[in-house]
Amino acid sequence: MAIILEEENMEKPVVAAREPIAVDLVAGREYWWCACGRSASQPFCDGSHRGTGIEPIGFKAEKSGEAWLCRCKQTKTHPYCDGSHKQVKD
């Protein structure tokens, strides 16, 4: 029952953009991907999630170079884009 209550109180992510963004990552460096969609520093967290019940997702870059990160917040492979933005409706 507590899980249901938590889900009811949790806000839904905001679609920050309907397309991914290319970013340069550094291998071994830790990043915090914005899962709530409210960050002004998309696709990275700036703390705007506070009070939403949505937490940022930490990850370490496996290799250096360009990566396409999700901004629609619908990806199943977060933080990376999986094409889910193509299904996002207005």
- Contact between residue 10 and residue 52 where contact means Cβ atoms under 8 Å apart: yes
CA-CA distance, 30 to 9, in Å (whole number)?
Answer: 29
- Contact between residue 77 and residue 64 where contact means Cβ atoms under 8 Å apart: no
Summarize pLDDT for 56-82 with one digit per residue, the tens. 999 999 999 999 999 999 999 999 999
Q: Are strands 30-33 and 57-60 parallel, antiparallel or unpaired?
A: antiparallel
Q: Which residues does residue 23 pair with via DSSP β-bridges, in sequence order? A: 67
The token pair that represents 1 in the structure block: 């029952």
pTM of the model: 0.85
* pLDDT tens for each residue of the chain, 90 residues long: 344 434 455 689 999 999 999 999 999 999 999 999 999 999 999 999 999 999 999 999 999 999 999 999 999 999 999 999 999 886
The conformation of residue 85, written as its DSSP 8-state character, comes to G
